[in-house]
A = this chain, B = another copy of it.
């Protein structure tokens, strides 16, 4: 099997799966992200968060998407081509992310739309499920990525 970092469009098949390393989310990470991008009480401060709909500090959903991206980049998935996103479908936050949670991402290739008309770049749909230390999904999304074919490929 090829090293994941060397893979181009040609090297994937529908059903391929992978899993990333893990990241631990701290209370400081959660409130630091929230101060910049989502300053609502349940993301900012333990005491205020306790009386909120979340019943305690929880990460912004956008923090979870950003951490998911970091885990995917660090995994080497598509390192050769870059991870170039056209968009995301069906993003759902399934369970609050709490201080001390350990997250990792499972990926599964759902769909491959080959390059046409002499183009070099195809489109991949990959389902990314972000999972906590209890093996429970905290987030799910379908990323839509531009993925180039291998250059100078022999066609014979």
From A40, A65, A88, name the one whose CB has the most chain B CB atoms within 10 angstroms.
A88
Given contact pairs A37-B69, A73-B38, A73-B39, A85 touches B93 in the complex (Cβ within 8 A): yes
Cβ-defined contact, A66 with B37, below 8 A: yes
Which of A78-114 touch B at CB < 8 Å?
82-93
Given A60-B69, A65-B62, A66-B66, A40 contacting B91 (CB threshold 8 A): no
Residue in B37, B52, B86, B89 whose beta carbon sits within 8 Å of that of A89 in the complex: B89
Total A residues in contact with B, Cβ cutoff 8 Å? 32
Q: Determine the chain B residues whose CB is within 8 A of the CB of A53 once the complex forms.
A: 82, 84
Name the CB-closest residue of B to A32.
B36
- Min CB–CB distance A96 → chain B (angstroms): 11
Which of B61, B67, B85, B93 is A61 in contact with, Cβ under 8 Å?
Answer: B85
Q: Which residues of A contact B (CB under 8 A)?
A: 33, 36-42, 52-53, 60-62, 65-67, 69-70, 73-74, 82-93
